[in-house]
Amino acid sequence: MKEVIHTPVPSVEEEEYHINMGPQHPSTHGVLRLVVTLQGEIVMKLKPHCGYIHRGMEKMCEKDTYPQIIHLTDRMDYLSMHINNHAVCLLVENALQIEVPERVKYIRTIMDELCRIQSHQLWWASFGMDLGGLTCFFYGLRDREKILDIWEESTGARFLQSYYTPGGLMWDIHPDFQKHTKEFLKYFKKKIRDYEKILSGNVIFRERSRNIGLMTKEEAISYGVTGPSGRGSGWSCDVRKHHPYALYDKVEFKEILYQEGDTLARYMVRMDEMYESMHIIEQLIDNIPEGDFSAKMKAVIKLPAGEYYQRVESARGDLGIYCISDGNKTPYRMKFRTPSFSNLSILDHISRNLKIADLVAIGGSLDLVIPDIDR
């Protein structure tokens, strides 16, 4: 008779096992795959697997002229499209020492801030949905639609607009742009109160998001976590304040800082930033000066040989473009330092020893946009 060997089966609480979150998972907000090692429902560690939508943008840039590159950057962080365009335009303008007309600076600053508002609206919508509040999703998208309408009128597109060109804008704003923007501000100021009521003041939401995903200021700096996520840990890292561009040194606005460093703090930073963005637009919208919508540019743009670095504050953080030019009409090397890429790197560190349901909240609070990671 064969001897039967009984091997003890470890209980679920003791055994480590792996699950795949993604590549198609609603809470990863795109095609990101997280391999999560669990013990029971506690996250022991996680490994992000990127590259599902890597398009080789940096390689493509080596074959493209600077005005063509602008159209690629829209597709990086598709929720900060204007701001990404702005980075390339500033890079070229600073390298060629072109002074853009005052009107352009006004319009660009307003567009950037509208962009930040709609990005935070979509983030709020999906963050609410991640935590079980489906109403948020409908509210957020409903209000974001108003901004897309304003853009459609002026830029001709709703999403990937490529509205900025080196030296100015593709074309002038629509005559009704100011009127409609002011109408939107009036509308959204009422609606954002609903946002506060439905989520910020919600006991279930606050209890779920408080004290999870804790990140100290030192960790944020070391991991390079910028933008609202870094400012939720008290790190003053707003490029608009530290390295001002366009009209950010002329307008008055506060840099929102929270010291707690948890998921709720990162949430509060974004909510408050929407008020600040509206405040910036209000200061500018009535004073857009008359003038050209573009400076005179040569038909073929060639940057002098050398190295250039341009930083802007996108809706997710510090976006940097490092460009090496050899004097041709295409760059020799173009590197995009994207905020989501660095923000993703801390996800493993701050979600350890928490429940898997908290991982969804933490991931949402970092506001990752996957094409921004994969480029």
Partner 1 sequence: MDLEKLKERVLTLVPEAEFEENKQFVTFFVPAGKLHVTTMRLKDDEDTAFDYLFCQSGTDMGKYLMVVYHLESTKLGHAIVLKVKTEDRENPAFDTVCDIWRTAEFHEREIFDLLGIRFNNHPDLRRLFLDENWVGYPLRKDYKDEVNIVEF
- The residues of the shown chain that bind partner 1, judged by CB under 8 A, are 50-51, 54, 56, 58-59, 63, 218-219, 221-224, 235-237, 242, 306-309, 311, 318, 320, 322, 324, 332-333, 335, 337, 341-342, 344-346, 349, 374
Return the number of other C-beta atoms located less than 10 Å from residue 262's C-beta: 22
Nearer CB in complex with partner 1: 94/283: 94
Q: Please, what sign has the CA dihedral across residues 50, 119, 72, 84?
A: negative
Nearer CB in complex with partner 1: 71/208: 71
The least CB distance from residue 130 to partner 1, in Å, is 23
d(Cα 109, Cα 246) in Å, to the nearest integer? 6
The least CB distance from residue 62 to partner 1, in Å, is 8
d(Cα 252, Cα 244) in Å, to the nearest integer? 12
Nearer CB in complex with partner 1: 217/270: 217
Show the tokens assigned to 172: 């002038």
The least CB distance from residue 26 to partner 1, in Å, is 23
Nearer CB in complex with partner 1: 199/237: 237
Strand partners, 309: 322
The least CB distance from residue 55 to partner 1, in Å, is 10
The residues near 134 (Cβ < 8 Å, ≥ 6 apart) are 128
The least CB distance from residue 54 to partner 1, in Å, is 4
Edge-to-edge strand list for the sheet holding 306-314: 306-314, 317-325, 333-337
d(Cα 226, Cα 325) in Å, to the nearest integer? 27
The least CB distance from residue 48 to partner 1, in Å, is 9
Nearer CB in complex with partner 1: 114/220: 220
CA-based nearest residue to 166, from 288, 281, 303: 303
Nearer CB in complex with partner 1: 256/347: 347
Return the number of other C-beta atoms located less than 10 Å from residue 266's C-beta: 28
Cis peptide before 244 (omega within 30 of 0): no
